[in-house]
């Protein structure tokens, strides 16, 4: 009788496979309050690596980290009408504290445009104070009716950037810089996901923004996932909070602003983009553990050698973990590391030791082969880069194979409902067609120019709509 698979096969039930993988790879668990999650150490290790890579890029773009309160006076949100209307269904509101009813209810942070603008209005006095570039790493709460771990939770972790500029052009260019040089660079070159960069339609735009730039990734089942967004806020919040500066000409001017963010949703995107029926496949540039060195048996010489190999590989600049828990069966440990998606396993037993070799198992392309122990440090960096490139290539090939050019709203809906992406001229679709697709749970993920670049305006000639079902 055949063994039952460790995970539900993706082709049988993709949502169940996703949940199985999160559980079996020990990434996260459901929290005690519906819609919350407990991120387990290995899952948090993935998020920490994402933070490290993103934080370096954010700082390279000139932004500095700060922190703002979790509790926001409810009156702040009402200052920008479109913003509060957009977030009203998701708000968690505190009415009592310290055993007493609060004089004014406070909102648990859903995003920080309002509270940060309250302080921007105090900090910005002159053109010399601009641009003001702030980022914070924090948690936010948006009450979620249909939760799914990492993808949609009532509380999640993220970074949110907020900036103030002297001109529309400076703000526009900075939002585009974050979109391209921070988010796209990270997602393509570290996560190995071939995202599409585009512009949201007016219907899909962030509440209170004049433009939203997005990065859309195709998941393993053909659905789209919004991986991150960068918003031009115009002067909407500046007007609401009276955020002004004294220009070089001696005039009081309103600032122009941006906000931008990515979240733990990227962990879900990582799982659904690269995972297979054996578990995760973690891109080597992201992996908290790039190489695990396993002792097959509890032989003293074997234990000593795997520890020595671990030290040698660390000295070569690799992120390494030694697994010498020989009181746990080797097969079980190998399956656990496969589930976690560690790019390379090095397996060493007494016979390997006699021959001066180790068995190298590559998680991403699959396969095993013996390698001389003394050659490992020189060989592994190139192997990891090959595997990084393979994941990106597979992501791109999947998206290209499952994207179809169509001419009608009906065709777009059929392609998306069948698990693909449709490309349709925006002139043929328009807001009316977008509304028709929404009735089928299909959405316009973004607009791109004919050459694949990000268009300057919703109605720019030649805009193409990317249509898909989405998470």
Task: Quick: pLDDT tens for 332-380.
Answer: 999 999 999 999 999 999 999 999 999 999 999 999 999 999 999 999 9
* Measured distance CA(91)–CA(311) in Å, rounded: 50
Overall average pLDDT of the 424-435 stretch? 97
The H or E element that residue 192 is part of is none
Give the integer Cα–Cα distance in Å for 469 and 222: 8
- Average confidence score pLDDT of the chain: 96
pLDDT in tens, 8-38: 999 999 999 999 999 999 999 999 999 999 9
- How many angstroms separate the CA atoms of 438 and 436, rounded? 5
Hey, what are 65's tokens? 């980290």
Torsion of CA 378, 379, 384, 390, to 10 degrees: 140
pLDDT band at 87 (very low <50, low <70, confident <90, very high): confident
> From CA 407, how far away is CA 463, in angstroms rounded?
13
């Amino acid at each position: 009788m055949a063994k039952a698979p460790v995970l539900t096969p993706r082709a049988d039930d993709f949502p169940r496979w996703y949940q199985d993988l999160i559980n079996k790879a020990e990434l996260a668990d459901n929290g005690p309050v519906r819609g919350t999650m407990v991120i387990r150490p290995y899952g948090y290790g993935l998020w920490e690596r994402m933070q490290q890579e993103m934080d370096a890029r954010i700082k390279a773009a000139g932004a500095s980290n700060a922190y703002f309160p979790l509790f926001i006076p409810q009156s702040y949100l009402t200052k920008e009408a479109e913003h509060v209307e957009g977030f009203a269904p998701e708000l968690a509101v505190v009415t009592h504290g310290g055993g007493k009813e609060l004089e004014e209810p406070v909102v648990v942070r859903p995003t920080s445009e309002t509270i940060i603008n309250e302080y921007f209005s105090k900090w910005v006095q002159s053109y010399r104070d601009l641009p003001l570039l702030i980022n914070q790493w924090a948690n936010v709460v948006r009450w979620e009716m249909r939760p799914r771990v990492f993808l949609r939770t009532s509380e999640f972790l993220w970074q949110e950037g907020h900036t103030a500029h002297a001109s529309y052009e400076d703000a526009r260019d900075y939002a585009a810089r974050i979109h391209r040089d921070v988010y796209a660079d990270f997602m393509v070159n570290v996560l190995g996901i071939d995202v599409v960069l585009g512009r949201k339609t007016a219907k899909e735009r962030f509440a209170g923004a004049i433009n939203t730039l997005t990065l859309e990734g195709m998941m393993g089942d053909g659905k789209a996932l919004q991986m991150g967004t960068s918003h031009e806020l115009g002067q909407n919040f500046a007007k609401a909070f009276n955020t002004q500066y004294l220009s070089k000409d001696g005039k009081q001017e309103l600032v122009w602003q941006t906000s931008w963010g990515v979240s733990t949703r990227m962990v879900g995107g990582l799982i659904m983009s690269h995972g297979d029926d054996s578990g995760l496949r973690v891109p080597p540039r992201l992996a908290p553990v790039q190489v695990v060195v396993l002792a097959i048996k509890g032989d003293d010489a074997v234990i000593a050698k795997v520890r020595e190999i671990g030290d040698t590989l660390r000295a070569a600049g690799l992120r390494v973990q030694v697994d010498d828990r020989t009181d746990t069966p080797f097969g079980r440990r190998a399956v656990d590391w496969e589930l976690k998606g560690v790019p390379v396993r090095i397996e060493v037993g007494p016979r390997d030791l006699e021959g001066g070799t180790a068995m190298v198992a590559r998680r991403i392309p699959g396969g095993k082969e013996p390698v001389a122990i003394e050659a490992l440090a020189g060989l592994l960096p190139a192997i990891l880069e090959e595997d990084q490139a393979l994941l990106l290539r597979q992501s791109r090939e999947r998206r290209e194979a499952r994207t179809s050019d169509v001419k009608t709203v009906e065709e777009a809906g059929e392609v998306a409902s069948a698990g693909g992406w449709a490309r349709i001229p925006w002139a043929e679709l328009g807001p009316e067609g977008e509304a028709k697709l929404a009735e089928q749970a299909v959405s316009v993920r973004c607009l791109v120019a004919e050459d694949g670049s990000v268009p300057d305006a919703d109605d720019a000639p030649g805009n193409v709509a990317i249509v898909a079902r989405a998470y």
